[in-house]
Amino acid sequence: MKHPKELSILDYTYPLPEARIAAFPLAERDASKLLIYDQGTITTDTYRQLADYIPEDSLLVFNNTKVVEARLLFQKSTGGVIEVFCLEPHEQYADITRAMLQQGKVYWQCLVGGASKWKPGQVLEKRISYNGKEIILQAAYIEKRAGCFIIELSWTPSSLSFAEILHAAGAIPLPPYIKRKAEESDNERYQTVYAKHDGSVAAPTAGLHFTEQLFQSLKEKNIRHDYVTLHVGAGTFKPVMAEKMDEHDMHAEWIDVSRSFIETLLKSLSGNIITIGTTSLRTMESLYWIGRKAASGELRVTSMEITQWEAYERKDKDITADVSLSALLEWMKANKLERLVTKTQILIAPGYQFQIINGLITNFHQPQSSLLLLVAALIGNDWRKVYNYAMENEFRFLSYGDGSLLWRAVDRLKG
């Protein structure tokens, strides 16, 4: 097996006509089609029947991040419009949650549409009505960096948090491949029913299919579920432009996991663990590598991040998932941490050895994307079989499209 650095993204492509990209969600979330892949066999159903394909006492892991209204439109006095797309907090903030709670003023890394018309030091202003009060929001151009701008956003009343400001003044950022403007309905539908923690600029789309009725049917079969938080950045849409993966800079994203969740995960290792979405999967596998650092005595509160190639290049002794998670729990207890908040840049591609998860529920991903590499790592070359089947059987693709349940090759434990 090649080192993933040597992989060519051109080997992970397929034709995707624009007509197959879902521009709108179905009227009912759980009516979406579900492709089930199990040891080379493919069947089709809908999400409503998901419980029929999950063994009893499995653990489903969801990402409960919440999409924020990250698109801010400012009109200049000359009439021109400048769009400020809020990507992630300035590095002065310890994590996204604290940045979202800032009052009065915040510094943010942003993309700027119409940046050539906005000069450093020039202040843009937007006035809106919110809960019967007038809000004045100002944006000041501070610095240009590679790939983003640093923008100072300030507002009155200063008692409001930045999260409240975005809810009041911003718009939901639909993915770039959905060629339409966001509508009022997207505020609800481009959000999971269990979304809780503000911080994402893109939805964890595998979860968009879940309803309260679907959760009830899973519960009736004794299929358990729990939550982690990974705040999805715009980097999830970043195409792989490099010829070899060695030259691709994988995007980093914030994860937030409670100690009680890790305890649940440790107790569930003997059964099936299925992640809902690639974000939950990246979080689960990152926990193993953080725990491995704890087991080797090198984990520090100030350096918990998992880098892009770390999973392939560590020189310490391999350990099992239960040893890793146990070491991580002991380390958190010793450091009096109830939550693990850090960044992960992990790139999961063919050649990766999965440590924790057995299955993945996910939508269909873009050609030549890092997410398609993750699917190929999970089910091998059968990813082509799955995508060809989906194309031939009228599945809808990408964020508002249909999805799949993919069991890891030769790894299903029960049922």
**Residue 414 pLDDT grade (very low, low, confident, very high; cuts 50, 70, 90):** very low
Of 117 and 136, which is predicted with more confidence? 136
**Residue 75 pLDDT grade (very low, low, confident, very high; cuts 50, 70, 90):** confident
**415 pLDDT more than 50:** no
The pTM is what? 0.92
Give residues with Cβ within 8 angstroms of 66, minimum separation 6.
Answer: 191, 195, 196, 197, 198, 199, 200
The mean pLDDT value for 146-150 works out to: 87
The mean pLDDT value for 224-236 works out to: 89
List pLDDT tens digits, range 382-409: 999 999 999 999 999 999 999 999 999 7
Domain positions in the chain are: 4-66+192-407, 70-171
**Residue 243 pLDDT grade (very low, low, confident, very high; cuts 50, 70, 90):** confident
Distance CA 142, CA 273 (A): 45
pLDDT score recorded for residue 411? 52
Contact (CB, 8 A) for 85 and 112: yes
List pLDDT tens digits, range 165-224: 999 999 999 998 999 988 999 999 999 999 999 999 999 999 999 999 999 999 999 999
Sign of CA dihedral 274, 63, 307, 1: positive
**Residue 289 pLDDT grade (very low, low, confident, very high; cuts 50, 70, 90):** very high
- In three-state secondary structure terms, 404 is strand
The mean pLDDT value for 132-140 works out to: 94
The mean pLDDT value for 297-313 works out to: 95
The mean pLDDT value for 61-72 works out to: 96
Among 369, 137, 84, smallest CA distance to 242 is for 369
Q: For residue 288, give both structure tokens.
A: 């193993």
Question: Partners of 80 in the beta sheet?
Answer: none
Q: Is the backbone peptide bond immediately before 157 cis, with ω within 30 degrees of 0?
A: yes
Question: Which CATH superfamily does the domain covering 4-66+192-407 fall into?
Answer: QueA-like (3.40.1780.10)
The alpha carbon of 219 is separated from its chain's Cα centroid by a whole number of angstroms, namely 25
Beta-strand (E) ranges in 163-222?
A: 197-200
In 2-153, which residue ranges form alpha helices assigned H by DSSP?
96-100
